[in-house]
Structure 1
Amino acid sequence: MSARADTGIVVIGRNEGDRLVNCLKSLTSEVELVVYVDSGSTDSSVDHAEELGVKCVCLGDDLPFTAARARNAGFEFILSQPNSPKFVQFVDGDCLLESGYIEKATATLSDEPELALVTGWRAEINPKASIFNEMCDYEWHRPSGDIMACGGDMMVRSSAFEEVSGFNPAVIAAEDDEFCVRLRKAGWRLRRLPIAMTLHDANMFEFNQWWSRATRTGHGFEQVNNIHPDYFVRERRRTWIYGAVLPALGILGILIFLPLFFLVVLIYGYSFFRTMRGLTISGVPKSRAMRYAFFFLLSKFPNLIGALTYRWRKLKGSDMLIIEYK
């Protein structure tokens, strides 16, 4: 079978507007089967998708909306079709698919049956539009080869997806990491191909958007680590040390022992300059490295808020509701 027939595409979105339209237009020439899964959009997303001839699945509000739940619903729709494809490509609705990626990804999965999934390189459409877009673009730069995990844009072998029961719909952030952990524990391999896969539109121009995104990330660190204690260990440790322990020691220093306060300031300063140095060594210009290092350090505070939010929800037995940043 051809790559077009072997692969179906699941697009997920919520109020993506023109980004969704552009996304769907980049897909329909690549495969025969595309489904859009909508998570309670209040704009015209579903209408636009139907106008483009794309099948739509609209999630009800009886359960919390999550990217994991949406991807599972899309996969179920794909597998319910006659002659369902062997591979499913997941694409976020704010992304454009690069031409030629599907064919290469399908060929790799066909040739190497031990692979559960492949992914490629993602980049920002407008990295210079804001410092926040720029940092997202840097975040997407990852080496090719066998990997521990990847983001939500991925091509998955249908049988592997079914074997691990898909994504965990209760995980509201880093659900892709959690999914990948279970695949690896089941004995599968994962790979990033050295090819362009998607162009992402972060569309982040406000500080509060960045803060919300970092809060969501902290929620993901804490929740996934709670499920898999051997994963996100370093990220979680840094969140709690730099977001909670050091500030508490700094306040204690101000109140009863001033040298302790200055020691905390020195630790933060050392972390900032160590991060900046690592970024410049990796090729980031010094001025950008300073900005990145500042926001990387600052992110520990919204990360902590996200972690605390997860712990409070878990303590109360509350639903894990999505944290949106745009």
Structure 2
Amino acid sequence: MSIAGIVIGRNEGARLIACLDALKGVSPLIYVDSGSTDGSVAAAQARGAQVVELDMTQPFTAARARNAGLAALPNETRLVQFLDGDCVVQAGWIAHAQAFLDAEPEVAVVCGRRREMFPNASVYNGLIEAEWDTPVGDALACGGDALMRVDALRAVGGYNADLIAGEEPDLCVRLRQAGWRVWRLDAEMTAHDAQVTQFGQWWKRTKRAGHAFAEGAALHGGPPEHHWVAETRRALLWGLFGPVLVVVLTVAVGPLGLLAALVYPLQVFRLSRRGGLAWAFFSVLGKFAEAQGALSFYWRRLSGGQKRLIEYK
């Protein structure tokens, strides 16, 4: 069975080289570049990868890059391993995932464990490491790294190139609606180098998640999916309506109204019993960033403004 690799990236430098080197033997290997200026294109070509350079006069999205790689695949390709350029596939993963798809013809997407290379480099890297730890078995969605059936991808139209975030869950919703399944294996798949070391990076990444929640709910929020409806509701409740309520109460009854803000430390305490103090604190704080992202989606939809990628590194 033909297995291809599609890597997307921009200015990943040494991380891209490590990513491509780990895919040695995968053919065809396609690298989709999004305007790199660090020699990524030459480095990929030197490693035998077919390079697709995106037209950067058009709005960039990761979904658009993955679709460009998909369009470059030979017709006979049956399976494709998608990777972000800051990831390294683990030894044995592709063969293991292929064997699973061979045994499970109703599964279109299989993914495994994504780990952070440097989870202790910053509190933010540690939070991302915890984010990757999702249940195994039948899954609602995958991330950017996954082995997929090409015919299933093409049948649902590939990725939604208009999405600036959340393109993988959107794809998985449409695949599941078409009768396919998504599966997560308890196997090491990729090592990821987030390089999120500053608060501003974490805020932008979390804001992007809020945008994805709101747009995903707008696209697939109806029954039976209710896709990201709860996540959007929580973001707006804690990140928007909560602060507004505190302000209204303070205006109405004076300084005593500020006592309503105590609900936030109480929420941190409640969540800390489940995932620790740091995770709880940033989970609550992140609702403000998520609400900002959701509001940016709503504003652009109302105003007809152009979507802009929310980049954090």
Aligned to 2:112: 120
Q: Pick the aligned partner of 1:41 from 23, 36, 44.
A: 36
SS at match of 1:16: coil
Matching residue within 56, 62, 70 for 2:57: 62
CA distance in 1, matches of 2:211, 2:74: 31
Aligned residue in 2 for 1:76: 71
Q: Distance in 2 between matches of 1:299 and 1:162?
A: 35
Distance in 1, Cα, partners of 2:307 & 2:99: 37
Alpha-carbon separation, structure 1, partners of 2:306 and 2:78: 33
Q: Is the 8 A contact 2:247 2:257 kept in 1?
A: no
Moved more, 122-131 or 306-315: 306-315
2:209 is aligned to 217
- Displacement of 1:259 after TM fit? 4.2
Cα deviation for residue 197 of structure 1 reads 0.3
In the TM superposition, what is the alpha-carbon distance from 1:10 to its structure 2 partner?
0.4
- Show CA shifts across 1:265-291 (max 9, x none): 232122111211111xxxxxxxxx211
1:97–1:197 CA contact under 8 A, matched in 2: yes
1:83-129 CA-to-partner distances (Å, cap 9, x unmatched) read x3211110010000001000011111112111111001000001011
Matches within 5 A, 1:228-247: 228-229=220-221, 230-247=226-243
Instruction: Give the letter for the 2:66 counterpart.
Output: R
Q: Equivalents in 2 of 1:242, 1:187: separation in Å?
A: 36
Report deviation, 1:304.
1.3
1:34 shift after superposition: 0.7
Determine if contact 1:215/1:302 at 8 Å carries over to the other structure: yes
Identity %: 44
> 1:197-223 CA distances to partner (integer Å, 9 max, x unpaired)?
000000011111101101111111111
Partner of 2:271: 275
Cα distance in 2 for partners of 1:49, 1:261 equals 56
Q: Equivalents in 2 of 1:110, 1:321: separation in Å?
A: 39
| Correspondences of 1:193-212 after superposition (within 5 Å) | 193-212=185-204
SS at match of 1:244: helix
Aligned partner of residue 37 in structure 1, secondary structure = strand
Q: Unpaired segments of 5 or more residues in structure 2? A: none
Match of residue 284 from structure 1: none
CA distance in 1, matches of 2:40, 2:298: 34
Quick check: 1:53 aligned with 2:40? Answer: no
Query: Root-mean-square deviation (CA), in Å?
Result: 1.2
Gaps of 5+ in 1: 280-288
- CA shift, 1:151, in A, is 0.7
**Deviation string for 1:155-180 (max 9, x for gaps)?**
11111101110110001111111111
Pair 1:108–1:217, CA change in 2 (3 A): same
| Equivalent residue letter for 1:301 | F
Question: Counterpart of 2:84?
Answer: 92
